[in-house]
Structure 1
Amino acid sequence: MKYLRTVSLIVAVSYVGIVSAAATDGATLAQRGNGHGAAPCMACHAPNGGGMAAAGFPRLAGLPDAYLRKQLEDFANGSRANATMQPVAQSLSDDERDAVADYYSKLPVPAQVPAPPLKNDVAQSGQMLATRGRWSENLPACEQCHGPGGIGVGDHFPPLVGQSATYIANELHAWQGGSRHNDPLQLMQHVAANLSDADITAISTWYAAQPMAPKEQQP
């Protein structure tokens, strides 16, 4: 009897260890969730991490590890408000957030879906704001922080190219309205406050229409 209890204990401990390991595996979390509040990431961000443009769910594949980790923390603590992501982030442990961020940062960037052609006035306005800004209103160019072509710079300024117009516009409105306030030195809050709705449409559609550089796009 004592032997059976010992064997049962060993099996139970082993099972817990297997479950715990699975729960902190990034691929498992992305495909199945963690079973206690965090839904599968792929349900909104697609199996390849490319996001769902029509719904405004962003691409995660290929984004910097540290950036993804910070966004999960900020969703959990409320500095980036989102009714879908907040409960998911709060249901992930620290190890699980690390695992998810690491997993998506290492995924290849999916092939880009061509965006609809832009009207000339929208294209001109979007390009001007992205590359030159509007200094008469102390509005810097987007690429001063996000890099030429919106390729992203470091861990704090993510790529804009390769994201959908819906997602970019939603985030600019979130910065503008204060539901997102997790930017370094409040840079994005200042930028968004100086944008009109027409500006936001121009910037978001212009970036969504820009092709990714070959080294960034890895189908």
Structure 2
Amino acid sequence: MRSKHFLLLPLILFTGTLAQANEPAKAAQLTPKADLVKGQQIASGVCATCHNADGNSSISTNPKLAGQSAEYLYKQLKNFRSVDGKPAERPNAVMGGMVMTLATDDDMRNVAAWFASQTQKGGQAKNGETVEFGQKLYRSGDLSKGLPACAGCHGPAGAGVPAQYPRIGGQHADYIETQLKTFRSGERSNDPNKMMRLVAIKMTDAEIKAVADYIAGLH
């Protein structure tokens, strides 16, 4: 019985979210308290070295933040922070240090809103030999092993559904590949209900690399 549930997962995810995913994701879901001027100041002073001041990182191992959902960015910043001596929900030595410079919750909301308000500079798929394979995995998954389609949650163009699923289209392939592998190993575990871990554990290195390259070219 358990295997049948896994086989149904791609269909459930796809039909349950397709209507939302087809709608253009809003770049920023800003709270009334968000201060873009202060967010820009933080981005320029704290984040620019790794992500660029507008969130369009030129380093392939560092994610592009421009156009990402403000709620998602805020959640990640909170997850990087260690509270009351407890390990961070998303351990990362570099980001753990950076986020400690954001003194208040408003700082995190402001910088998240700033990056969300920026326009992402898209990328492109670079491996012509695997682009069809990557496209198939992204759009259809692999029913034979219960691998759901990425499009079911992140949308046909990778725009995501703000506050639920992050924007991934146009993201650096190297970064996507690394995150899928850390979800697979359990090194990264801040995904609600283990959603990404249950997906990534079904993927081979070749599948991860192919779909990551395809995602980089989505607009």
What TM-score results when the alignment is normalised by the length of structure 1? 0.76
**Structure 1: gaps (5+ residues):** 1-21, 33-39, 213-219
Identify which of structures 1 and 2 has the higher relative contact order when contacts are C-alpha pairs closer than 8 Å and 6+ apart. Answer: 2
Following superposition of structure 1 onto structure 2, how do residues 14-163 of structure 1 map, counting pairs within 5 Å? 25-32=38-45, 40-54=46-60, 56-77=61-82, 78-92=88-102, 93-110=104-121, 112-119=122-129, 122-163=130-171
Q: Report % sequence identity.
A: 35
AA of the residue aligned to 2:112:
A
Cα deviation 1:181-219 (Å, max 9, x = unaligned): 111211100001111100110110111123x1xxxxxxx
Instruction: Specify the SS of the correspondent of 1:25.
Output: helix
**Structure 2: gaps (5+ residues):** 1-34, 83-87
Q: CA-atom RMSD, angstroms? A: 1.8
Cα deviation 1:14-49 (Å, max 9, x = unaligned): xxxxxxxx9x911111112xxxxxxx2011001321
Moved over 2 A (4+): 112-117
Q: 1:152 to 1:91 in 2, by over 3 A?
A: same
Q: 1:87 to 1:64 in 2, by over 3 A?
A: same
Cα deviation 1:128-171 (Å, max 9, x = unaligned): 11000112111100011101121211212111111010010011
Shift of 1:114: 4.0
AA of the residue aligned to 1:116:
K
What TM-score results when the alignment is normalised by the length of structure 2? 0.76
- For these two proteins, the number of residue pairs brought into alignment is 178
AA of the residue aligned to 1:138:
G
Match of 1:186 among 187, 191, 194: 194
| Contact 1:150–1:161 (Cα < 8 Å) also in 2 | yes
Aligned pair 1:203/2:208, yes or no?
no
| Contact 2:51–2:59 (Cα < 8 Å) also in 1 | no
Distance 2:59 2:101 in 1: 25
